[in-house]
Amino acid sequence: MSVREWRFRYLVRESVANLLSGGWRTVSLLVILMSVVAAAALFEAFSVSSILNRDVSLIQRGRYVLRISPGVDSPSGIDAGACARVAGQGGVLSSGAVLRSGLYEVSSTPGVRVRRISVTPGLLETLDLAGPGSAVIVGAELADELDVIEGSAIRLVVAGSTETLVVDEVMAHPSVRFPEANRAVLVTGAPLGEAADCYVEAQPPVFDEYRTGIVALESLAAAPPTVSGLVSVEQGETPGDRYARRPSRFASYAAAAVLCSLVAVSLQVRRSEIGVYRASGSSRPAVFVVLCSEYLILIALAVAMAADVLVIVTAEAGMYAESIRHGLSVLVTTGVLTAAGTAVVAWAISLRMDVPRALKDR
């Protein structure tokens, strides 16, 4: 029976009938196909999610924040006014300075000393410490120790006299960019005189240019200052570097290779069944269409089921849309590669089928 005699739609119907009559064989093969495809997609999704989460964590810790300190040979500190003006440079998001820092005794609790840090208003935004407009901010840990809330008064003994500070804001969470603030009182002041350090948050595209001095910051000190990143990032630790070397980049190819091998084994197991087709007069192209249609239907169903698994798992894990997109990309790529490989395997088996030997295996 040739392809001309047995029209294409009947060949596809034969494929569907084979799948329906396959029983547990069909179900088992479908589950295995779906599991491999879903595993590859989830591997990629979780790998990309891990990279994104690490990048977000680094940004929260100050990945693009510069710390500018007086140079070793500098006769003076950082110019606080110049530090404030850096915020007007291209690619700079914000800037602020630490003016002074010292330990002072709490007048109401003799023997208890707290750190008072004078800062410029811009530092609150740069180091993500508090909202704008707050003049006195208390770190979360110190607030618990002293049992103070917004509106409470803290009295410190400064140079023999008492300084009363009314708390405008208590930090809701411990600071990751400026840990010293967690057990300190921050008092904002005008950017005048010298500062101990200047902090600058830059946009990612220009961060390295400022850090390496390719683009000069406004003159901040009498001598060249020391410029460093707030967070130390080793070479190869950028999101692009980690993405380029992630193991899951080969997930589609590995999954497709496994699935094509599985299809080849399945077809070898069915060689007696294929031999019956050939012995009954079916041409090689007809057998190829029947076999290929069967497995392509299974692959399509497996990819669709794997997509459902991917969406459910990633939604439960609260992943970024970018991670889900990468997982779906692996699904599609794996499906296409497996379909192409299946067609090659099915055609090869159709061509090389030894009908008499296949029938002996029945």
Question: What is the 8-class DSSP label of residue 323?
Answer: H
Please state, for a pLDDT cut of 90, what percent of the chain lies above it. Answer: 32
Q: Label residue 271 by pLDDT band (50, 70, 90).
A: low
Please give the pLDDT value at position 287.
Answer: 72
CB within 8 Å of 120: residues ≥ 6 apart: 80, 83, 84, 96, 97, 99, 188, 189, 190, 191, 195
Q: Label residue 220 by pLDDT band (50, 70, 90).
A: low
> Using one digit for the tens of pLDDT, what is the confidence trace for 312-355?
999 888 888 888 999 999 999 999 999 999 888 878 776 665 54
Residue bearing the bigger pLDDT, 322 or 12:
322
* Least confident piece of the model among 11-20, 31-40, 129-138: 11-20
Q: At residue 260, what is the residue type? A: C
> Using one digit for the tens of pLDDT, what is the confidence trace for 164-206?
889 999 998 888 999 999 999 999 988 888 888 999 999 988 8
Residue bearing the bigger pLDDT, 63 or 285:
63
Domain boundaries, the chain: 8-57+241-360, 65-230
CB 252 within 8 A of CB 42: no
Whole-model pTM: value is 0.71
Q: What is the mean pLDDT of residues 275-299?
A: 71
Cα end-to-end distance, the chain, whole Å: 22
Average pLDDT, the chain: 82
* Least confident piece of the model among 39-43, 80-84, 114-118: 80-84
Question: What is the 8-class DSSP label of residue 182?
Answer: G
Give yes or no for residue 151 having a pLDDT over 50. Answer: yes
Residue of 152, 219, 226, 140 whose CA lies nearest to 178? 140
Please state, for a pLDDT cut of 70, what percent of the chain lies above it. Answer: 80
Q: What is the mean pLDDT of residues 105-133?
A: 88
Q: Label residue 356 by pLDDT band (50, 70, 90).
A: very low
CB atoms inside a 10 Å sphere around CB 194: 15
Give yes or no for residue 22 having a pLDDT over 70. Answer: no
CA distance 125 to 123: 5
Alpha carbon separation from 268 to 44, 240, 361 (Å, rounded): 31, 44, 11
CA distance 332 to 298: 14
> Using one digit for the tens of pLDDT, what is the confidence trace for 46-95?
999 988 888 888 888 888 999 988 877 767 778 888 888 888 888 899 99
Please give the pLDDT value at position 7.
Answer: 65
Please give the pLDDT value at position 218.
Answer: 60
Q: What is the mean pLDDT of residues 137-154?
A: 89
Q: What is the mean pLDDT of residues 254-261?
A: 94
Give yes or no for residue 358 having a pLDDT over 70. Answer: no
